Chain A
Amino acid sequence: MRSARQARSGGTGTSVPVLLWIPAVVALALVVLPIVGLLTRTRLAEFPSLVTSESALAALDLSVRTAVASTVLCLVLGGPLAVVLARARIPGIRLLRAVVLLPLVLPPVVGGLALLYLLGRNGFAGKTIDTIFDVRIPFTTVAVVIAQTFVAMPFLVVALEGALRTAGERYEVVAATLGARPWTVFRRVTVPLVLPALGSGLVLSFARALGEFGATITFAGSLQGVTRTLPLEVYTLGETDVDGAVALSLVLVIVAVVVIAVARPRAVEGRL
């Protein structure tokens, strides 16, 4: 009986209880149907010309470049942060864990304002940078990357920290008792253990960075080729040309789907 059921459901692991199917389908519908709505409003004949306009291509190019850059930043900065949060034994670590989640709850526009008050011309860090290096961050592509990293990093940190804590320290302790140095333990034991979580965390961060709007427009502004990413372009275009905006948002969906489809299965299998 049991094996027959397993065979029907594809043969891998236990079968999904029937009771879960209904809410699962509703959940799927909630995600898929709005996209279908988007598709029904797209005039496919005009789609190619709408999405290959100069401004659309500039926005797509900028979006992909900045989202990749901020995903790398998430990995380089957020990865170690997750390890520290999961493993370090320092006072106040619980509070730190909560603080890291702030960008998730903060409305992005507020996040953008916060960045502006820190790194803007009159912000306490921005002022110093301006006087010493004569560099201003707002209205630059760097500002876009900072804004995206700010909102996207918690996704990586949460995914990774959770996996680290679930995996526990048993293997690391064993490796250490066998004489491995901390860096070797990290490289040969910790990282391989959490590779799937790292992969999905990166995909989440990239997706969030790609869709970033509020913090970017507040902190970086909106100028074609410099700071106007795809979501900003969609919004700007929506003021005059709703069809164009719908078509462009579809491009955003396609980019996201492609990235997730390519990266997700590998990430989950731990091959990255």
Chain B
Amino acid sequence: MKKLVAALAVAVLTTALTACGSDGEGGGGAPPRSRSLTVLAAASLTESFTVLEKSFEAANEGVDVKISFGGSAALAQQIINGSEVDVFASADEKNMAKVTAESLIDGEPEIFATNKLMIAVPPDNPAGIASFADLARPGVTVVVCAPQVPCGSAAEKVEQATGVTLAPASEEQDVKAVLTKVQAGEADAGLVYVTDVNSAADKVKGVEFPEADKAINSYPIAVVKDAPQADLAREFVKLVRGEEGKGELTKVGFTVP
């Protein structure tokens, strides 16, 4: 029994010590040794931002751009929970708003690209999908994103606008998961973004539908408050919004303002 008490005491002590340690680190904010710019960007920006990363590094000697791609919600959580980040590029305004609400953004986020939905089908289009209404035909296996994620809420908007109600076989976590199901041939069709169809051009076919205009998705970008490399961060945003950035974004299927 005494030993148990002692053990617990050690546990409590350890906890207290670790807590102190992390506090010290969090408050200190030691200056980084090398000039590295940390960018958090939505997964759909992978192709375009990777090119821009190279170009930025070439133009700014000694700067190492580190881009972490992921789901916008997860990225927003990272910033809110205190990761040291310079630039945040979100796939929707909702997740940017979460960060803005915590007063963690420097200035106003700017919309730098828009994206819209497209139907992805396997290359041989086994179900013969030609329109949005075709997705609701009986016997067609459709996969969409969950309404909680941007591509899913866009799909819901299109459903409301057209009055066509889908009965999806699955509501996936992100567009890549939807693409996987279409590529594997499990789904006859999936609702993804134009840019996703482009990035998987050899594995899926895209079917455009006019109703996609009812749910345009805007991508905001912003410099994070107290960014360790605020000046570089502004330069990077300028690059994304400039001619070169626009060119790369258009190349993969985005529309730029």
Residues of A within 8 A of B (CB): 8-9, 18, 21-22, 24-26, 28-29, 32-33, 113, 116-117, 120-122, 138-139, 217-218, 220-224, 227-228, 235-240, 242
Contact = CB atoms under 8 A, between A and B. Distances in A.
Interface-centre pick from A24, A222, A224 (highest chain B CB count, 10 A): A222
B186 A26 contact: no
B14 A222 contact: no
Contact of B11 (A25, A116, A139, A239): A25
Interface stretch (B25-33, B41-49, B142-150, B214-222): B142-150
A32 B181 CA distance: 37
A223 B149 contact: no
Interface residues of B, number: 29
B248 interface: no
Shortest 3 CB-CB contacts between residues of A and residues of B: A221-B170, A122-B185, A239-B148
B186 A121 contact: yes
Nearest to A10: B1
Given A121-B185, A239-B148, A240-B148, A222 B7 contact: no
Given A221-B170, A239-B71, A25 B186 contact: no
Interface in B215-242: none
Contacts of A217: 172-173, 177
Contact of A117 (B7, B10, B184): B184
Q: Does more than half of chain A's interface fall in helix, strand or loop, or is it mixed?
A: helix
6 contacts: A29-B15, A138-B186, A139-B141, A223-B169, A224-B171, A227-B170
B7 A239 contact: no
Interface of B: 2-3, 6-7, 10-11, 14-15, 71, 73-74, 77, 141, 143, 146, 148-149, 168-173, 177, 180-181, 184-186
Contact of A25 (B2, B10, B77, B173): B10
Contacts of B15: 29, 33
Contact of B77 (A18, A121, A235, A242): A242
B173 A222 contact: yes
A241 B149 CA distance: 11
Contacts of B10: 22, 25
Contacts of A238: 73-74
Contact of B172 (A24, A117, A222): A222
B170 A222 contact: yes
Nearest to B15: A33
B186 A218 contact: no
A90 B30 CA distance: 63
A224 B168 CA distance: 11
Given A21-B3, A217-B172, A240-B73, 18 more contacts: A25-B11, A25-B14, A28-B11, A32-B11, A116-B186, A120-B185, A122-B184, A138-B186, A218-B180, A220-B170, A221-B143, A221-B181, A222-B171, A223-B169, A239-B71, A239-B73, A239-B149, A242-B77
A88 B76 CA distance: 55
A111 B149 CA distance: 25
Contacts of B73: 238-240
Nearest to B169: A139
Contacts of A240: 73, 148
B171 A116 contact: no
Contacts of A8: 2
Contacts of A236: 146, 148, 171, 173
A9 B1 CA distance: 7
